Chains A and B, each alone.
Chain A
């Protein structure tokens, strides 16, 4: 009962937040945190459930953002038509990366995702005709819903919240389906899973493309929220931050990545005045996290957690 009451209070607080908070800046940080939370949930599917580590996830986020930006600025598409395109293209790239890396495990997979992330970043930076190079794309129109342009942080808040809720529902449902359980079996013991009749190839491809699709949706939202994008957002540093979001909250949990996204988006803003020193402590914090809490904060709450 206590848990239910706590959950209800949390949901009410999240819904009422824009009415209670005056500051546009705080709402902006919340919007951004929700967008990153969607990417983190996708990465969590791949990493927390599937046991595959990606250090190139910013690339899928970037592909989603650029697809939406190019379609809406150069071709006049609306957000609602560009979004499925972002989703599809990111998912397709997920498959493209997933296919050759199926045979790879452990450190090879990590390096392949790293290489993929760098290739995408370099292409975004250098393909002048398509991506406008290092300056990026400006003038991306805001999302229109029922004839209203969602221009302010307050208006955008509920859109981001709706997509985050959708991502959460999909994650929860998925974890309880056959595919979700197969994914976990691949994480825990790939060989054993295969012997039990799990089609590990199909499961891994599914994880890669779904995970990329989450990032694509978030990328599209990001492009339409900020109005301009440039390649210096979609870097190795962002991929690392996404990885830490999942790890801080707890890989393989539902709310962990959301919590991680909130902390990692808000913390640099709160400590803005100490920028460089903050980053030193960020680095030390990551090291301490991986030494003492490799299962994240969720590992503290629930000690016996079946994870590899």
Chain B
């Protein structure tokens, strides 16, 4: 089959038409920013990420009779957010490692979704293995270079913040990738980044892995990205979805809250 050159307008025109007919569905993978949504918790003597806080400036009242608006505050890593390589010490000297300098092409990219929801249901500390990845590839094909790998755990369905954080006296218990899996994705599959439904890309007990927080260490050390606090990964197909996830353009920003959208093609 010979390729017929088509104009840019034609590609985008088809795209717009597919959107309008519902052939391409847009799915919001973002948690709503609310003061109740938990933030990552570090030991109290360390610096802390601000939770999301919001305060009215005015609401059609004496502070501003005709308009409603708010001020809000949060950290770069509050709510559904993007991790840039500069976030981790292993990625601190890489070029284009902060949210303002990352090539924007990376903000639109395909995603593979590896379903670990059954395992995470049984084991809150579940670590996704290389075997899980290979099993996925046996069915859905090899993970393409430059794709996001999203670990579906259905953890975002834990609406109660206490269940979402899942702390006990030994710390947090949430699923994530094993050190070997994180390294495999970076070195063997050249992925764009790793995304999780839990509060971090690393498991809750990730500090006790070798190296500590392996997903952060390997991904950011190789200039790859992270997405966390994603939701509704159960609505995505294993392959074929395209993520749109541009973080805020913060100068030397290590990350940013963002809206994550997935484009999914439906059968005609």
User: Do A and B share a complex?
Assistant: no
- Could you tell me which A residues sit within 8 Å of B by CB distance? none
- Could you tell me which B residues sit within 8 Å of A by CB distance? none
